[in-house]
Copies of this chain bind each other. A is one copy, B any other.
Amino acid sequence: MIKIGRMTDYGTQIMTYLARDSERLHAAHEIAQAVGVSLPTANKVLKTLARAGLLESQRGIKGGYLLSRMPEQITMADIIRALEGPVGLTDCGTVQQPGNCNRQPSCSVKTNWQRISKAVNDALAGVTLAELSVPPVHPVHITRQPGQSRVQL
């Protein structure tokens, strides 16, 4: 299985929770309880998301966190990149930092991994937080070209 860290899972749940009430400021302890993780863990994830610019934070006694953008403008690729680093499958071939392969410079596989990483990245960028935050009563349609059953690379 292609793994993402558990922190990214938490982060997605947190972002989804905040998107459902995106105007108000939410304290960390409230978020932690809602999502079902310990407060220290929630703090860690929230800090990372805020540093990445996905959340705005307000300090002090009435502080808390808030989405920095509208849910329609935040994608799964943003969340994963914030918590996992650049979206890619291998060290060589991330979308944002192509290269750095310790093998022979003309490694034929490198280009391939970059293409594959881009395909995955595009797939993740096609899912917005707004789509995730609607309760899954009637399933959401993933945006895709008509008649395109498989993702074009």
Q: Which of A84, A119, A132 has the most chain B CB atoms inside 10 A of its CB? A: A119
How many residues in A have their beta carbons less than 8 Å from beta carbons of B?
58
Residue of B nearest to A139 (CB): B111
| A61 at interface by CB-CB < 8 Å | no
Specify which chain B residues have a CB less than 8 angstroms from the CB of A113 in the assembled complex.
9, 12
Question: Could you tell me the distance between the alpha carbons of A120 and B82 in the complex, rounded to whole angstroms?
Answer: 18
Bitwise interface map of A from 67 to 89 toward B, beta carbon under 8 Å scored 1, else 0: 00000000111101100111111
Within 8 A of B (CB), among A23-47: 36
A127 touches B152 (CB 8 A): no
Residue of B nearest to A98 (CB): B142
